[in-house]
Structure 1
């Protein structure tokens, strides 16, 4: 190993040689990086090159969208840096062969230039973007544009999932959970309006995973179950909901409604069986 070789992990799995120094900061986890690279085997055979395509390659660090050697190696670079990475198979493709140009168990060599990167958004920036999407969804909902409202809620849910909750303090985590809960509740209502009870039920379940005693989630779940003729499920859900919120008039009304539906179904089946036996 030459003097300017860096053993990134200390086990020889990812070796780095700086060919040209860079400047500034290094990418943080979840940064979107832009690189140019040339990939070769140890025998010098080139198997891939962004330079040949004249198109930089972008990926988000730490999302496992690239080989582990890149996820661990690129964050050690500065903007403008050109480095040579020698990556053993365990941190590349292992015993797999992703293409005919890369044999199984290959050590790969990459000359990588870090062109730039976009730092990850902080949790509060993501939170504000989700809040705006939720509010836009609410506006669409008020206008009766149920599917457009759901599209905004879906975008908010997707965005809020980018927040690394493990790094939040108790108060921050509470705010994220509360917003996530509201978005799922609103999504469920929008889907109920469109008649998409299957997806509405999924949103209710996710809301209840956050707050198992949320009366709105329980009520909307009951509507979804009842609309799919699962009267037993609807009644059971409303029964629990009334234990949580005994004075909820809407739940009481729906409970009576689905009890009647259940009794009508029992009566219908009884009459059907009676007719069958008479025929016999």
Structure 2
């Protein structure tokens, strides 16, 4: 990333990558302040963002003397140049886990947002080895399936169908996805299609085809 950090709201600059070059760090490992780990994980490659971080997301009661006083609110202007594949996948799985927790607490809208962020992270992941391809495929299908489950709760059946079909286009033998697709089709009143989907699910379960 490239960045400029200032005290908020005074605007006094305390650091900038222009002084020492583009900054690289391991995302999600506590190598930087908490606000960076959280904020950068939400960004897309090429995006510019502005973070205003409360002290508990920055340097807290200790500050970072002499440039950053204790209990300082900080403002960062950040431009993201890229992620490593491992960082993207880790961020995606973190959003997936967050979505799962929100789903269990019946927080449908926030769960949906978390799953959509997970998909956004996976969109920027590239695959090189067969093992990496399998890992990313499994993550994407799981997120699509969970997102479909949320959409069913929200009664957004048409979008649930689209998410299920996206997953099934990648692996047609996903029985859980077929079950959710049938539920969405029933919600749309597409009874014949739902019966066909249930039949496909039973065939997958029984190892037919």
Q: Provide the TM-score with structure 1 as the length reference.
A: 0.45
2:192 corresponds to: 232
> What is the Cα deviation at residue 164 of structure 1?
2.2
- 1:242 equivalenced with 2:202 (yes/no): yes
What's 2:126 paired with?
Answer: 164
Are 2:145 and 1:185 equivalent residues in the alignment? yes
Correspondence for 1:106 = none
* CA distance in 2: counterparts of 1:183 and 1:130, whole angstroms: 9
- 1:82-97 paired onto structure 2 within 5 Å: none
- Partner residue of 1:273? none
8 A contact 1:215–1:245 mirrored in 2:
yes
2:112 matched to 1:150? yes
TM superposition shift of 1:119: 4.1
Aligned equivalent of 1:200: 160
Checking the alignment, whether the CA contact within 8 Å between 1:133 and 1:156 is kept in structure 2 is yes
Q: Aligned-pair RMSD on alpha carbons?
A: 2.3
User: How far off is 1:118 after superposition?
Assistant: 4.8
Q: How much has 1:137 moved relative to structure 2?
A: 0.5
CA distance in 1, matches of 2:89, 2:176: 23
Tell me, yes or no, if structure 1 residue 136 matches structure 2 residue 98. yes
Mapped contact 1:147–1:191 kept (Cα < 8 A): no
Distance across 2 between alignment mates of 1:150 and 1:242: 28
Alignment of 1:105-144 (within 5 A): 118-144=80-106
Count of residue pairs the alignment pairs up: 136
Gaps (5+ residues) in structure 2?
Answer: 1-19, 23-44, 48-77
Which ranges in structure 1 are unaligned for 5 or more consecutive residues?
Answer: 1-22, 26-58, 62-115, 248-280
TM-superposed deviation, 1:147: 1.3
| Pair member with larger Rg | 1
Select the structure that is richer in strand: 1
Alignment match, 2:63: none
Deviation at 1:60, TM superposition (A): 3.5
Report 1:21-100 matches (<5 A): 60=46
Structure 1 residues 119 and 190, CA, compared in 2 at 3 Å: closer, same or farther? same
Structure 2 Cα separation of the partners of residues 127 and 118 of structure 1: 16
Output the TM-score relative to the length of structure 2: 0.60
Distance (Å, rounded) in 1 between the aligned partners of 2:88 and 2:108: 24
